Amino acid sequence: MEYIKLGNTGLDVSPLCLGAMGFGSPTNWIHNWILEEEESRPVIKKALDLGINFFDTANIYSLGRSEEVLGKALRDFGKREELVVATKLYMPMKKAPNSGGLSRKEIFFQVEESLKRLGMDYIDLYIIHRWDYQTPIEETMEALHDLVKAGKVRYLGASAMYTWQFAKAQFIAEKHDWTKFVSMQNHLNLLYREEEREMIPFCEDQKIAITPYSPLASGRLTRDWTGDTKRSLTDQTSKMKYDQTMDQDRVIVERVAQVAEELDVKRAQVALAWLMQKEVVTVPIIGATKESHLLDALPAIDVTLTPEQVAFLEEPYLPHQVVGAR
């Protein structure tokens, strides 16, 4: 596998990242389709065997259990010095004062909690999961900078916010000579392209890596429109993101199937290839819960879409309501 640089850094990452939201516990959080540890470990090991070295989780996933499962598997099967591990903070882990958000107090507390659960002494990429409307951005950026200088964190990233917010954070960091964000983990796929308006041009101009989440639209781009899975039937977050635009999205899903048939490849490969043909997109984050999901996705690295095929896939898109930024 050929590795690429994460944006304007010297960090080597695989062209696909394995997202770990699907690993942890189906009973202690909001999703009942999540795999227990015993089922998760073979998927993580397969990713490592295939050459994937970039893994993404968050403290909120299964209320910390995802970090525990991922960290143990990576310690057992991988070499820490070769791996890039990302985790996130912002969401409240319990109903209590000072739980959640991006205050200095919470940032310092949550990084230590994540390190303990991961069983690691540093985090490669520490990502703020959302914008905190209740905490001054100066407080957040200085605290994150201090984590980098303390050796707890190597790089900083952001996720799911408006472009003006991201630009403001970068400006504040530059103004004070603090560590800036090197990546943006945003919502981007063939069914949701609102990020193309402002965030993608901004990141391209600033040489910031884009690592899209939900590149397969929670599986909608990989199967027939009438096909169902346990996740599609029960995942309320996914329903919120996509159910309101089902009629207009159906045409795009059908076109993905048509292009896949023309190229004799999997639909997942077409959807991922569409993302990866955008130069600013560094690494899509795939949420595999089966080894076969990895095997279906990885060949996308070598799939090339013609300009005509890209235009055919993009043509039916209609504007969507912005989701994920709050």
Domain count, the chain: 1
Which residue, among 107, 131, 254, 122, has the nearest Cα to 190 in the 3D structure?
254
pLDDT of the residue at 246: 73
Q: Is residue 257 included in any domain, yes or no?
A: yes
Please indicate whether residue 192 is annotated as part of the active site. no
Q: Which tokens is 253 given?
A: 């899903």
Number of H helices and E strands in the chain, helices first, is 12, 10
Q: Is residue 119 included in any domain, yes or no?
A: yes
CATH number for position 270 = 3.20.20.100
Q: Is residue 322 included in any domain, yes or no?
A: no
Structural domain including 21 reads: 4-314
Burial class (CB in 10 A: 0-12, 13-18, 19+), 258: middle
Q: Is residue 38 included in any domain, yes or no?
A: yes
- What are the pLDDT tens digits along the chain (326 aa)? 999 999 999 999 999 999 999 999 999 999 999 999 999 999 999 999 999 999 999 999 999 999 999 999 999 999 999 999 999 999 999 999 999 999 999 999 999 999 999 999 999 999 999 999 999 999 999 999 999 999 999 999 999 999 999 999 999 999 999 999 999 999 999 999 999 999 999 999 999 999 999 999 989 999 886 656 655 555 555 555 565 677 789 999 999 999 999 999 999 999 999 999 999 999 999 999 999 999 999 999 999 999 999 999 999 999 988 876 66
Q: Which tokens is 290 given?
A: 């089966």
Cα 269 from Cα 271, distance rounded (Å): 6
Q: How far is CA 5 from the centre of its chain?
A: 17
Which bin fits 95, alpha (ψ -120 to 50), beta or left (φ > 0)? beta
Cα 194 from Cα 321, distance rounded (Å): 8
Cα 65 from Cα 18, distance rounded (Å): 16
Q: Which tokens is 214 given?
A: 């939900």
Tell me which of 61, 126, 192, 242 is the catalytic residue.
Answer: 61
pLDDT of the residue at 234: 58
- Strand pairing report for 209-210 and 123-128: unpaired
Spell 228-238 as b/e; 16+ CB within 10 A means b.
Answer: eeebbeebeeb
pLDDT of the residue at 324: 61
Contact 92, 124 (CB under 8 A): no
Phi, psi of 193 (to 5 degrees): -125, 25
Q: Is residue 321 included in any domain, yes or no?
A: no
Q: Is residue 320 included in any domain, yes or no?
A: no
Q: Which tokens is 71 given?
A: 């960290």
- Concatenate the DSSP letters of all residues of 99-154 into one string: -SS--HHHHHHHHHHHHHHHT-S-EEEEEE-S--TTS-HHHHHHHHHHHHHTTSEE
Q: Is residue 323 included in any domain, yes or no?
A: no
Q: Is residue 319 included in any domain, yes or no?
A: no
